[in-house]
Amino acid sequence: MKQSFYGGVHPHDRKEATNRLAVVPLSTAPKQVVIPMAMHVGAPCKPLVSPGDTVRVGQKIAEIAGLGAPIHASVSGTVAAVEPRPYTGGGKVLSVVIDNDFRNTPGSSLTPHADPLALSPEEIVEIVKEAGITGMGGAGFPTHVKISSGLGKVDTMILNGAECEPYITADHRLMLEQGEKVIGGARILMKALGLQTGWIGIEANKMDAVDHLKSLVGDKADITVEPLKTRYPQGAEKQLIQRITGREIPPGGLPAHVGCAVFNVGTAAAVYDAVVEGRPLTERIVTVTGDSIANPKNLLVPLGTSFQHLIDEAGGFKADPDRVLTGGPMMGIAQYNLAVPVIKGTNAVLCLTPQEAAPEDKAHTCLRCARCVNVCPMHLTPVYMHLYAEKNRWSEVEDLRVMDCIECGSCNYICPARIPLVQSFRTAKFEIRGLAAKQKAKEAAKA
């Protein structure tokens, strides 16, 4: 039974600057790309190339070292360095730096399959793995692992086309311009999971995408394209599952625990590229927008391209930005360096003016208004989590289920005191994980 999810907020979507702009390739290819070895959930990849090596587009340049997905060259050229470079998540990460020869010489080892539905689930999983596909909505979980872990457990496959974050239109334009790949990828994922039907959830502020995908599904009716009432954070997989199926994931649970698997529409298109066309994941669509940007655009970007290059492609800054984010205003991460590169989960470069960002000089005292509790889609109590975190009382914060927080920012958005709640919870999670790691190391040493 379909039902709405608890909480959520209704920010203005601010998508009008780019939602009618077609995706365009870069007018000037980057002279150099910087490809981090950590573009996914799990351990960083191990480089397979060294400085001076020649590489081709689609050539595998890094192999997994545990949970992860392989990484491929996004341009052809010469490896200039393998060294730590600035990273969108903060700090520096070991990266492969490639000087572009501007020839785009192909070098993929994947084999195209004209009839992908003739493949076995195991064959599809292996192709997806070798293509280096991860969640394209930002989470970055390796797609082959998600498929494998769902075999025999999943009865419902959902594609996430909600794109509920304000400003971002990358998925919207993908569905309009490459809808055949989205539908084709959905059917490949259904085949891999052994399912006959699937769902695509799209928020109602993208009805042109809803209508387009419905027309592509046609009379076959194996995929239901479901328009969703616009509400943030509907794109979070737990909330999307509840909205589509009525099933609620228990605290600490995963979608597979309620028989569901959720993939971003961009992930489905990447699966189609890998299986049907034999192309690994080397590029993605990125929305470059915000009131600081002269000419907002939706760009098709080689992985490893710097944020500075994308901003230049969009005409540069027409006004000094207050901050530059990777992602949207609700969950995006502020960048300290515009040399950071586009990675697999980068869906937007958002450049906000001081008026858009509306920064506060400092947070005020909590008013105990409970608005943060009312809007939390995970049924948490942000006010108490923050109070304990302020006192470094990490065990109490953990008892309040801070690890279930999806960092959607709804509490930040609604807080009249402008308290940086999400930042407090990120710090708490970091401390709790650190304490758990120390305890595990201590027990291992004792053993």
Sign of the torsion formed by the C-alpha atoms of 413, 419, 425 and 430: positive
Identify whether 321 is preceded by a cis peptide bond (ω within 30 of 0). Answer: no
For residues 321 and 292, the answer to whether their CB atoms sit within 8 Å is yes
How do residues 429-440 score in pLDDT, each as one tens digit?
A: 999 999 888 888
pLDDT score for 3? 67
The series of mean pLDDT values per 10 residues for the chain, 447 residues long, is 80 96 97 96 94 97 93 98 94 96 94 94 96 90 94 94 97 98 97 95 97 94 94 94 93 90 97 97 98 98 98 96 95 94 97 84 81 95 95 95 94 92 93 90 85
- Domain ranges in the chain? 116-277, 371-446
- Measure the N-to-C terminal CA separation of the chain; round to a whole number of Å: 50
What homologous superfamily does CATH list for 116-277?
NADH-ubiquinone oxidoreductase 51kDa subunit (3.40.50.11540)
How do residues 86-137 score in pLDDT, each as one tens digit?
A: 999 889 999 999 999 999 999 988 999 999 999 999 999 999 999 999 999 8
How do residues 24-76 score in pLDDT, each as one tens digit?
A: 999 999 999 999 999 998 899 999 999 999 999 999 999 999 899 999 999 99
Q: Given the structure tokens 């027409």, which residue do they identify?
A: 318
Whole-prediction pTM value?
0.94
For 353: left if phi > 0, alpha if psi spans -120 to 50, otherwise beta; the answer is beta
